[in-house]
Each structure stands twice: as structure tokens, then as C-alpha cells.
Amino acid sequence: MAKQRYIQAINQVFLDEMERDKNIVLFGEDVELAIFGDTREVYKTFGPERVYNTPICENSLTGMAVGAAAAGRRVILHLMFGNFVYTGMDAIAHQMAKLRMMTGGQMDLPITVIAGYGGGRSLAGQHSDTPYPTLMNIGGVNVVTPATPADAKGLLTTAIRGNNPTFFLEASGRGGDSGEVPEGEYLVPFGKAAVHKEGSDVTICAIGTMVRPALRAAKKLEEDGISAEVVDPRTLVPLDEDGIAASVSKTGRLVLVDEAKDRCSAASHIAAVMADKCFGDLKAPIKRVTVPNVSMPYAGVAEMAIFPTPEKIVAAVKSITGEMAGAGA
């Protein structure tokens, strides 16, 4: 184990995997200068034969990822911001997600699309979105939301070596987060949730960027006598339904924390699945702490007013643990 920043963990995987597998091509806008830091040194190391610093045309880039994969390459496409999933959506939804099925399974599409998602940094409406609910609903692409540097390393390696199109959504603005990262080869399997903190009174299921506020909330709740378990699905497609259900069945309560807009969010999907799987074990309604169905505003105060915070998570938990002996005041 060694301490590494989130963005360094991603960067190191690119360098390691492209060294390991000469069949990998990486392309995207501004990857040469690596404005997020995650592709730093990649162009310099592997050169223009394997790294294409592209013009700004996301809809072509997503389609080209499909073509390059169909031609036998292993593809990494950097889409920069999560919002550009929308500008590149035609080929994502119509080609990337469907060609394998429509060709009767003839086509392997080893594609990793990486993009930074999420708000909280006054990037305003067009650069703060959380596009995974859209991707989850397409059918045919994997969706990965690493919350820690170790998971970033393990999940990205699995994505790159896998044969399915995978969206690796990195938490924007969390590149500086530091954590212990296993050295050497390290793969985290898809569809396996992580328990960041164990607890017995309530399960807080937090997605991607929301793991950190969820852990802060859990700490505060601990002080108030409520034992919260913090579960992180890590991958939304495939989703570890059984892993999350095991925690919910144990605690009997579930609060979901999701940076997506509430309507058809990952939280609402998981809530539906858990209502189905854990109905008999639930002691209270399932609660969601999400973003209202509006665009992300620019001003910091306005942004934080709609953003999930530790305080909102604590309040949501207390709204369903009110009858507990040790709960609240």
C-alpha cells in the first residue's frame, strides 16, 4: 500500500495498461496536455501513433471508439466532462450499447470511456451533470463510479481489460483526494459493493462523489448514538443488488445518497429494487437524498442549497430513526 491521489491512481493505470498492452489506443479532447491530470505523460510516453489528441466533436469520437474497437483495438476514450456524454450520445446509445446485441454477439467492444462528473465547483449548468442515470437506462453499457483512489485503480484496470463498453465516471474536483492504493496489479471486480463503514441501525448507500459526505454524516450520527453502515455500490451497471440488500436486511433502514437529479436517479432505482428484495426487513420507508429536478446553478450558495450535504443526510436518517432509543436529542 502507498498513499496516492485519486487522479494519480487513474494516471498510473493509463501508463501501466498502455505499457502492458500495445493494442490500446487512447484518444480525446486535450488529452495531450491532460487538463484533468489523468492523462499526464501518456502522449509523451506512447506518442501520436497510439494517442490521438482530437478536435472537439464528441459525437464522432464516441462512434469512432466503436469503429476502432470493431477493428480489433482496445479503446480508451476521454470525454472530458460527464456532460459530453450528452453531446456524444447518438453513437453511445445507438452503436456502442447495441452493436454487440444487434449483431448476434459477433462484436466485442472493449471500450472504456472516462469522464469527470458532478457539481459543487460553480461550473454551472452545462459542466456539472451526473449522467449515469441516463447511461444506466440505455442497456448495454457498464457504469462505474469509483469513490476512492484504490477503487479508481482497481475499477479502471478491470474496465480497460474487459470486453464490454464501460463508462468510468471520475469524481470531478476530487482528483486531490488521497488514499491508500494497493501496489502492483490490482483489479476490483464489477458488481461488488464496498462497505466503507459498518453499522447496525441504518444503511446509507452512497454513490461515487457522495461517499465522502455520507461518511461525514455517519460520523455525526455515531456521536448521536445512531450506528450507520455506509455502502458504496462502486458499479451501477452491473449493480450488486444482493450486497446492498444484505446490508439493508441487517439494518432494516435505507437512506440513498445520490448526486443525480431525483427523478429516475440511481437512488430511485436502487430504492425500488430494495423495496422489492427487503420488504419484510424494512422498519421504515426508504429515503433518498438527491438533487431536485433542476439544472445545477452557478452561484455557490445556490449550488450548495440543492446539493446533498452531510447535514441533509443526517436529517434524512433521523427522519426514519426517530423512534430509536439512542436517536436524536
- Interface residues toward other proteins, by CB under 8 A: 23, 25, 27, 49-50, 52, 54-55, 57, 59-73, 90-91, 94-95, 99-108, 139-140, 142, 162-164, 190-191, 238
At its nearest, how many Å lie between other proteins and the CB of residue 64? 3
Minimum distance from CB of 165 to other proteins (Å)? 9
Task: Show the cell assigned to 141.
Answer: 453499457
Residue among 247, 140, 142, 153 nearest 193 (CA): 247
- Cβ of residue 225: shortest distance to other proteins, in angstroms? 41
Q: Which residue, 115 or 306, is less far from other proteins as judged by CB? A: 115
Q: Which amino acid is at 93?
A: A
Q: Of 80, 74, 73, give the one whose Cα is nearest residue 53.
A: 80
Neighbouring residues of 76: CB distance < 8 A, sequence distance ≥ 6: 14, 24, 25, 26, 27, 111, 112, 114, 160
Q: Is 297 helix (H, G, I), strand (E, B) or coil?
A: coil
The nearest distance, CB 293 to other proteins, in angstroms, is 27
Cβ proximity to other proteins, 49 vs 223, nearer residue: 49
**Of residues 158 and 265, the one with the C-beta less far from other proteins:** 158
Whether 127 is a known active-site residue: answer yes
CA distances from 39 to 44, 45, 159, 168 (A): 10, 10, 16, 14
The residue (of 10 and 92) whose beta carbon lies closer to other proteins is: 92
Which member of 78, 94, 127, 269 is catalytic?
Answer: 127
Q: What is the DSSP string of 101-114?
A: HHTTT-----EEEE
Angle between helices 211-223 and 310-321 (to 10 degrees): 50
Would you please indicate which residues are annotated as catalytic (active-site) residues? 127
